[in-house]
Amino acid sequence: MSWPQTEIERLTADYGTVPPPWILYPEFHPLSAFWRMGGGEGYMMFWSQWWQKQTWDEAQQFAYFQSFSPPPHWVPWTGDVIWGYDDETEEDAVLERLEGLGLGSRAEVLADWEDER
């Protein structure tokens, strides 16, 4: 069995599916260098390949993320994964759409991004 398949089985046994990045590495902000090198980069590549193989419709994709309750700073990323967007104007529309569907609020996302912690 290949490493990716072994990892999928391990994660599915632990979480019921392959979890999004913030579940395994909650201490890292989505803009952290952690996601661009080393373990974070490896997990992001693994997760992306797994995600692309799913044949879920939009409702199933949304339900997946909703089941893992992304912290506010990960909400824009979830919208990008589901719908994709190119600029801040589109990001605002995505945040409003996610809020309307019950996944985070635009105000929480903006407040979180302005927090300098």
Cα atoms in the Cβ-side hemisphere of radius 13 Å centred on 45:
9
Residues constituting the chain: 117
* Identity of the amino acid at 70: P
| DSSP secondary structure string for all residues of 10-24 | HHHHHHSSPPPHHHH
Closest CA to 24 of 37, 11, 13: 11
For 53, phi then psi, to 5°, come to -85, -10
pLDDT, one tens digit per residue, over 70-112 is 999 999 999 999 998 877 778 889 999 999 999 988 899 989 8
pTM, 2 dp: 0.88
- Coil vs helix vs strand at 85: coil
- 115, pLDDT greater than 80: no
